[in-house]
Amino acid sequence: GAKLTGLVESILDFGTVDSMEESDLKKTELNVAEILDDTVEVMKARFRNTAGLNFKVVVTEAVKVNADRALVKTALKALVDNAVKFNAGKDKLIILSAQAKDGHALISVGDNGPGIPGEEIANIFNKFYQVEASFTGQVEGWGLGLALVKKAMEVHGGSVYAKSQLQKGSAFTLVLPL
């Protein structure tokens, strides 16, 4: 079924990203606002049957980075995918935002989901780690996504971090050098 295909795809994706080095990147100048808009269009289509899902893009200044378009979009899609899947609420809001700060672009995917317990945050970027099933209500999938996101940022000389408040939501921020 589709679930298996998805898993195979993410393992292939991860295998490709996991063995990547900076020299493999196809870097071009990216307009971050445009990438966020593209990502929203793709994810709206992917989750068109998900009721109560709203996206908002907030970019107050032009942010441009020299990065691999496909890889940045893969990372953003993985974050949005998680934000939708783990939010059991009736109204799901996903906010994609970007700003330039201290020589870096900060690109965030925020949600109004259940939040992540503080002690779990340190582990969620590990390969195949999954937040307690009892907590996420048996949804599979943190698994590879976040390890892939982390690796995709590291190859760019960047990083990713998460902030979360239980019952309020989470925000995952990609940090890329400007």
Question: Is the backbone of residue 10 left (phi > 0), alpha (psi -120 to 50) or beta?
Answer: alpha
- Closest CA relative to residue 167, chosen from 88, 95, 113, 124: 113
Who has greater pLDDT, 7 or 151?
151
pLDDT digits (tens, 9 = 90+) for 6-59: 555 555 565 667 777 878 889 999 999 999 999 999 999 999 999 999 999 999
Residue 118 Cα distances to 62, 86, 126, 175, angstroms: 33, 16, 15, 21
Placement of tokens 């990547």 in the chain: 20
**What does pTM read for this prediction?**
0.84
pLDDT band (50, 70, 90) for residue 108: very high
The span from the CA of 63 to the CA of 167, in Å, is 31
Whole-number pLDDT of residue 138 = 44
